[in-house]
Structure 1
Amino acid sequence: MGATPGRLGAARSAGRERSARAGREVDGRWRARFRDGDPDAVRVVYRAYGALVYAVAFRVLGDRGLSEEATQQTFLRAWRAARDFDTSRELGPWVATIARRVAIDLYRREAIRATRPLDTVALDDPALHVQPTTDAVVDVWEVRRAIATLSAEQQEVIRLQHFDGLAQDEIAARLGVPAGTVKSRSFRAHRRLALELGHLHDGRPPRAVASCKRHSVER
């Protein structure tokens, strides 16, 4: 049985109120923690603004799959820029601006025609009620953060092994170093990732790193 217009309106109004409360909570309590790279703050920010980011992307792209990709990329870019975020500002408009830029970049990349004009997202837009999974975006963010703690040599081995799919002997040939050196770097890198990502995917860093690849991480 379909919902009545009155019930739909009430549900949308309640959703807007919840979003507003979440936004105020992020602005009031979590901005500094987000700036400092706190994973819990990233989850709070995503839950508060994920639907808005998706709606902004959908307005530009008119495609659900591309809008989900844009949502993931938006929060990755926000994480990269978090250290420069002015905590006296509100997070919502800042994240929405990043989302718009990401979506336009994807639009140009895909060379597709947008189905709707690039205007302001209405509060009752149906796209606001469609949101990609939180875990997918936050897992990717945490993998990126963990990889950033590795040395440059270890990052290169991880990239070649997990993103390019090369075996250790192929990596050795690519880098011009002994296979034993690659094995040592890989061991140290995975040990570090196990410490950083032990709470993800049963504590197995290769699966966590693979999830980073599956979710359109920019390199």
Structure 2
Amino acid sequence: MDDLIRRFREGDPDAVRGVYQRHAGAVTTVVRSIVGGDAALCADVVQQTFLKAWRAAHTVDADRDLAPWLHAIARRAAIDAVRHERRPTIGGHAPEVDVPVDPPSFERTWEAHEVRRALDDLPPDEREVLRLSHLLGMTHAEVAAHLGIPVGTVKSRSHRGHRRLAAALAHLQVGGDDANRSADDAVPHGGGAP
């Protein structure tokens, strides 16, 4: 039995913080995949998720992982929030139209979480180079200028970072054509060469 889960079930405030610290990244990924880019709504739903989890902590099976349970709460809370946001206000608005909300599959959400965790596990210098080049679309020369380091250093950190990601994400690759893909396909390429 995980001591953190046991203490969480008992309502220990330090355990609640520990659960938040351990699972907030994955819960945020689940919520963001449903609510989109509305940062304020995403933060509200993440907070609601952990509040609902805390209120229902006594129902948790102490011998099971909390992640799937928290992800289910997050998905329901995010879908409810999206539906609530789309309701018209009272007044002369057009009638309410039901819009189907298809949350991403569990597999897709889990893969996104695994990629995020693999990135978080990289050494900070490699993670920063990959963040600047892939997420901000900087070229190696722009990354070098931004960080005040030689272009060769940027290239070597990028190469090491991609190798580490390939090893960390190898379990996500499935047989067939996917087996021939390199793990750096899991990281979107920006404007710079990897």
- TM-score, normalised relative to structure 2: 0.49
Q: Which protein, 1 or 2, shows the higher relative CO under an 8 Å CA cutoff with sep ≥ 6?
A: 1
**Bigger proportion of residues as helix:** 1
